[in-house]
């Protein structure tokens, strides 16, 4: 059973316990599905000593949400590893150290939502599976010391990482091949939902946590927001911040954040202030339209009917970011393959809410993985 780290002194725990543990087991790298468009990833592997303690039960591919950095999930990584899973942290295009379609650092600009699904599928197919199975082609990891050297290239210049034959280094032998599990949050949850519809064999199970399956347009009707976006794109404004969005700001705002845990919020805000790659903020006009297209594609009956793996969907009771209707529709549409778990009192980022919510959250995750 997972033991939740207390929120008290959380930053100190991250600095002295969790981050050193993860970094000691971490390899970083880039994978380019499209030449000149590299996607950053981190692979956190179980050591032989870890395996003797926990066993090796499988592999997690973790996909972050909108404007998030992969290292925001190190606490989540810790819990998965202590359940016996190695973890791949995958950074989506438009975020952090991965390829950006814009020169504005804090703007998330996605030209076509289908590229998000294609990127993730290619990453699983050409990086994760070969490494997990101990065969085939895997990407040569970029060492931690080389990270700064490739940051410029990650903005779209040159071949950063292409398939090589070093899968044996990533894998510990074929005996390490276990279940492959998708864990995806918010925007990542939408990408994950679409992926398991179109590529049903990529994963054995999926955990979608507060997935972005219905956008919240506030007081503006969706049709009006869509019309405005299309008009702005028509007049060449697709690559600018959508109305109401803006660049990253250094002023903390816990009250309007996506977590109800002050200590966890303070830790990540500190990391954002310290590292520019964690300072993503607003969506472009084109991105907002592409997200709407993505949610519509997921909701199509034929696509929902294509889901064949077990899916656990977490819904935050106090979610102020996405609406629950799309989540309910998705679970109803995939029938016996899906289960909805409503997290009482939770805000959008359930994975970093208060200790009591995390205890329930991880109990549900562990039971789902064991089933």
Lowest mean pLDDT among 56-60, 164-168, 262-266, 317-321: 164-168
169, pLDDT greater than 50:
no
Instruction: State pLDDT tens for residues 38-64.
Output: 999 999 999 999 999 999 999 999 999
Q: What is the pTM of this model?
A: 0.89
Q: Is the model's pLDDT at 283 over the cut of 50?
A: yes
With cut-offs at 50, 70 and 90, classify the pLDDT of residue 134: low
Percent of the chain with pLDDT over 90: 85
Per-residue pLDDT at 171 exceeds 80: no
In the structure, what pLDDT confidence band is assigned to residue 145 with cuts at 50, 70 and 90?
very low
pLDDT value, residue 156:
37
What CATH fold (topology level) applies to the domain 10-370?
Answer: Rossmann fold (3.40.50)
Residues in Cβ contact with 336 at an 8 Å cutoff, skipping those fewer than 6 apart: none
Nearest to 97 by CA among 183, 25, 156, 158: 156
**How many Å apart are CA 246 and CA 249, to the nearest integer?**
8
pLDDT at residue 351 tops 80: yes
Instruction: Kindly state the average pLDDT of the residues 331-340.
Output: 98
- State the chain's maximal CA–CA distance in angstroms: 60
Of the CA atoms within 13 Å of residue 12, those in its CB half-sphere come to 4
Domain limits, the chain: 10-370
- Please determine, for residue 269, whether its predicted confidence score (pLDDT) is greater than 60: yes
* The pLDDT of residue 1: 85
The encoded tokens of residue 37 equal 């468009």
**pLDDT > 90? residue 367:** yes
Alpha carbon distance 247, 254 (integer Å): 17
Q: How many CA within 13 A on the CB side of residue 337? A: 20
User: So what's the pLDDT on residue 125?
Assistant: 97
């Amino acid at each position: 059973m997972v033991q939740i780290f207390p929120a008290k002194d959380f930053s100190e725990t991250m600095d002295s316990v969790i981050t050193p543990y993860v970094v000691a087991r971490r390899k970083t790298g880039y994978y380019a599905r499209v030449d000149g468009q590299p996607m950053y990833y981190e692979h956190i592997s179980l050591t032989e000593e870890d395996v003797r303690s926990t066993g090796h039960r499988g592999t997690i591919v973790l996909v972050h949400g909108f404007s998030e950095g992969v290292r925001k999930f190190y606490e989540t990584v810790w819990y998965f590893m202590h359940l016996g899973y190695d973890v791949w942290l995958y950074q989506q295009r438009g975020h952090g150290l991965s390829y950006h379609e814009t020169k504005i650092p804090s703007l998330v600009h996605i030209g076509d939502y289908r590229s998000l699904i294609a990127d993730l599928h290619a990453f699983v197919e050409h990086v994760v599976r070969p490494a997990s199975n101990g065969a085939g082609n895997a990407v040569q990891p970029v060492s931690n010391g080389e990270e700064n050297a490739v940051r410029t290239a990650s903005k779209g210049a040159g071949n950063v990482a292409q398939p090589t034959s070093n899968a044996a280094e990533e894998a510990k032998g074929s005996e390490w091949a276990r279940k492959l599990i998708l864990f995806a949050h918010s925007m990542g949850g939408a990408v994950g939902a679409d992926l398991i519809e179109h590529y049903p064999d990529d994963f054995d199970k999926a955990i979608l946590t507060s997935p972005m399956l219905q956008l919240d347009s506030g007081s503006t009707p969706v049709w009006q927001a869509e019309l405005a976006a299309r008009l702005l794109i028509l007049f060449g404004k697709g690559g600018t911040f959508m109305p109401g969005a803006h660049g990253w700001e250094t002023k903390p705002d816990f009250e309007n954040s996506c977590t109800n845990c002050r200590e966890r919020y303070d830790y990540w805000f500190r990391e954002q202030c310290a590292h520019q790659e964690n300072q993503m903020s607003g969506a472009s006009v084109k991105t907002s339209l592409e997200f709407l297209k993505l949610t519509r594609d997921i909701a199509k009956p034929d696509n929902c009917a294509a889901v064949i793996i077990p899916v656990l969907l977490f819904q935050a009771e106090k979610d102020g970011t996405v609406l629950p209707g799309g989540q309910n529709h998705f679970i109803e549409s995939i029938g016996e393959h899906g289960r909805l778990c409503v997290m009482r009192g939770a805000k959008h980022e359930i994975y970093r809410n208060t200790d009591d919510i995390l205890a329930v959250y991880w109990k549900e995750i562990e039971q789902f993985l064991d089933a």
